[in-house]
Amino acid sequence: MDTALPWFKDAFPIYLAPMAGVTDKVFRQICKGYGADVLVTEFVSAEGVFRRNERTREYLDFDACERPIGVQLFGADGTHMAEAAKQVVDWVAPDFIDLNFGCPVNKVVAKNGGSALLKDCPTLTSVAKAVVDAVAPLPVTAKIRIGWDADSVNAVRVAEILERCGIAALAVHGRTRAQGYSGEADWRVIGDVAQAVTIPVIGNGDLFSPQEVMRRRAEPKIAGVMIGRAAMSAPWIFRQIKHYLATGELSPAPELSERWDAIIEHCRRHAENWGDEEQAIRAMRARLMAYSKNFPEAKALRKKFQHVATLADVERIAEEHLATAATMSDFVGQAFLPATA
Ligand SMILES: Cc1cc2nc3c(=O)[nH]c(=O)nc-3n(C[C@H](O)[C@H](O)[C@H](O)COP(=O)(O)O)c2cc1C
């Protein structure tokens, strides 16, 4: 493997996947606390960087404890992307820039951004080259899907192009754009990409347990993995993965009380960061729904989460839930299951 990125040296890094609306600064730091090795911001529009709008500035915000961290940019114009990347480097000095060539969302694809560039290799090349040249020697990485649709799976070709453009590492989500999040990630194609290039390839898609990560680590040339949705409902999965990779032993998911402590801390830090508790906790509702995924009595919890508006609301729900769970005979066993999201 050919790499200038220090986090691949003698290591198998576990990335937190970029997730718009999820991997903000607070959540990234929580995942880092549980052992995520490399973080990436939510995707940021190159055009937003130009306009220097307030929201974009928030997306770019990170603390030193999050390093190594990359800022992910999307856009379809090489010159604009290069200029935006330079501005980002001047503003916040990330450890790398990551290019989004995988986003399936209509709003992005309609402007020829994200995964649309998988079927426009000349533009993909010009964007990648322009950004690599603009920010050199800062590394530029990329994240792709395996193709536009089942008839045009071209991840190997795209990877070879990106490697020639000077991309330093490549994350591959094993789905096509047409799949959205349905079906299964195709790890065979991810493996083909890893065999075809010398830069590190980070496998991504459907990793929900330490055992699955271990299995992927054993595959030839996969240099690291990226965890997305599993972390949304169980950020402690990074700790479990690290422990399993290091010892071969499965560690239990945290006790319910520890999980609630983590959730309340997330809410508290989110409110602090946002500055308006009510707005912040309302915005946390979707996140709380995700957290409840592997909880006992999840349906009842989700009903309650629909109405939370203050930190005290969340604390009260936690108290009630812990009291109910304590009376449930099957719960004690549940706490010791490894988390699967
Ligand atoms: C809510 C959500 C938001 C996402 N936002 C981004 C994004 O901003 N940039 C990106 O490259 N991928 C984004 N993704 C895709 C993830 O990074 C990842 O590739 C995908 O979820 C597959 O990994 P997983 O099976 O571990 O979840 C998003 C996924 C989700 C679920």
In angstroms, the CA 225 to CA 149 distance is 23
Q: How confident is the model at residue 333 (pLDDT cuts 50, 70, 90)?
A: very low
* Residue 295 alpha carbon to ligand 1 centre in Å: 23
**Architecture of the CATH domain 6-247:** Alpha-Beta Barrel (3.20)
Cα 323 to ligand 1 centre (Å)? 35
- Tens-place pLDDT, residues 188-246: 999 999 999 999 999 999 999 999 999 999 999 999 999 999 999 999 999 999 999 99
> Where is pLDDT greater, at 325 or 35?
35
**Most distant pair of Cα atoms in the chain: their distance:** 62
CA terminus-to-terminus distance, the chain:
32
Given the CA of residue 114, which atom of ligand 1 is nearest to it? 11
DSSP conformation letters of 288-319: HHHHGGGSTTHHHHHHHHTT--SHHHHHHHHH
Question: Could you state, in order of their start, the residue ranges of all structural domains in the chain?
Answer: 6-247, 256-334
Pocket test for ligand 1, best of 15, 19, 141 (most atoms within 8 A of CB): 19
Q: Are 2 and 205 in contact (CB under 8 A)?
A: no
pTM: 0.95
Range 13-34 average pLDDT: 98
Three-state SS for 213? helix
Mutation test of ligand 1: which of 27, 118, 173 has the most ligand atoms closer than 8 Å to its C-beta?
173
- SS3 of 42, please? coil
Does residue 42's CB lie within 6 angstroms of at least one atom of ligand 1?
Answer: yes
Contact 294, 341 (CB under 8 A): yes
State whether residue 239 is helix, strand or coil: helix
Helix 78-92, helix 121-135: angle, nearest 10: 30
Q: Helix axis angle, 311-326 relative to 298-305, nearest 10°?
A: 160
pLDDT > 70: percent of the chain: 96
- Both tokens of residue 108? 């992005």
Q: Are the beta carbons of 171 and 202 closer than 8 angstroms?
A: yes
Q: Is any atom of ligand 1 closer than 6 Å to the C-beta of 18?
A: yes
What value does the mean pLDDT take over residues 285-300?
94
- 31, 103, 165, 267: which one is catalytic? 103
Is residue 43 in contact with ligand 1, taking CB distance under 6 Å? yes
Determine contact, residues 184/206, Cβ cutoff 8 Å: yes
CA 104 to chain centre: 15
The Cα–Cα gap between 205 and 280 comes to: 29
User: Which pairing describes strands 201-204 and 222-227: parallel, antiparallel, or unpaired?
Assistant: parallel
Answer whether residue 31 shows pLDDT above 70: yes
User: Contact, 150 vs 176, CB < 8 A?
Assistant: yes
Whether ligand 1 lies within 6 angstroms of the CB of 22 is answered as yes
